[in-house]
Chains A and B, each alone.
Chain A
Amino acid sequence: MDSQKVVVVLLLVTIILSVISVVLTLTVSVPQSGPSKLSVNANQISNAGDLKSVQNGQISLGIEAPKK
């Protein structure tokens, strides 16, 4: 009798675990639509760098009155 009870308990545990597995499997979201083939959009992976660059240089000059 004891062994039979153990078997029953184990089977119940198996059922519980199976139910959990089913729930988890159904919970995993798998998109049902979308591209069926791998596609790569060049615009998305290109390096959209700056097309212009601006920099400054400076010139300094002091002008004094001519000496007599």
Chain B
Amino acid sequence: MEGEGITKGLMVVAIIAVALSAFVVVSNLINVQKIQRLAGFATDTDIGNATLTIQGTANINFSRNLINWSSGYVNASGAPCPNPAYAYLDTEGNTVCGVGWQTVGQGLVLDNIGNFNVSVQLASSNNATQFIGGGGGTNVQPSYKWKITNNLTGACPAANLTTITYTDVNITVPGSVVCQNLGYQGTYSNKLSINLNVTIPVDATPKTAVSVITATATTIT
């Protein structure tokens, strides 16, 4: 009798264990089905489309960012220099009627290092009067001009280059559009040259003058 009792007890315990195990199995199966739906488990009748859009990133850099003519003065000793005297300096290797100034053979160079074509605007921190000064009386007026061309062929299509001859700098931020479609690195040419010239009247006030050229690039949409 005692043996039968133990056996019955074992059976009850075993039944409970089987029932709990069965519940666990069913519960896990249900959860697995839910997870499959959430994870987009594909079947042979499902079709999915994913669209990826990559926006352009504007990123420019002055690979040549400093022009320094150093210090000098106007040659006022007469012919062949004009009277009233003035000096002319540019970034294409020309120094006329100036003494002491360094000859500069290259202008600023602006690179489009982003991943999209951009339009480029330029603004100067000061104009000719503010940067150079002078020009009183019969003296020639000071001038401060820029010219924007391709540093690498095809960087900006010719039709999109708007300042290919020397033009007075613009001090209104964000400035003048000088290239409406500058290419980017990795596809084709991506560099612009910004050449500058200055005319310094003999009566310009002695000083160390600094001008900041700000380039703003905007992605073309």
Contact = CB atoms under 8 A, between A and B. Distances in A.
B61 interface: yes
Contacts of B79: none
A59 B74 contact: no
Interface in B31-57: 31, 34-35, 37-40, 48, 50-57
A43 to B, nearest CB: 8
Interface string B181-221: 00000000000001010101010111111111111111100
B66 A58 contact: yes
A22 to B, nearest CB: 6
Contacts of B211: 58-59, 61
A48 to B, nearest CB: 6
B10 A63 contact: no
Given A19-B20, A26-B27, A38-B40, A52 B216 contact: yes
Contacts of B68: 59-61
A64 B200 CA distance: 11
Q: Determine the main DSSP class of A at the interface with B.
A: mixed
Nearest to B122: A57
A37 B89 CA distance: 69
B72 interface: yes
Contacts of A21: 24
Contact of A48 (B55, B59, B215): B55
Given A4-B6, A15-B13, A55-B60, A60 B132 contact: no
Contacts of B208: 60-63
Interface residues of A, number: 46
Contacts of B205: 63
Contacts, number: 186
Given A49-B56, A66-B76, A34 B38 contact: yes
A63 B209 contact: yes
A51 to B, nearest CB: 5
Interface string A41-55: 011011111111111
Nearest to B218: A52
B178 interface: no
B88 interface: no
A19 B73 CA distance: 96
Given A18-B20, A55-B110, A61-B198, A67 B58 contact: no
Interface in B113-145: 114-115, 118, 131-132
A51 B13 contact: no
B9 interface: yes
15 contacts: A11-B14, A14-B21, A15-B17, A37-B40, A40-B50, A40-B51, A49-B56, A53-B114, A54-B60, A57-B64, A57-B66, A59-B131, A59-B196, A60-B209, A63-B206
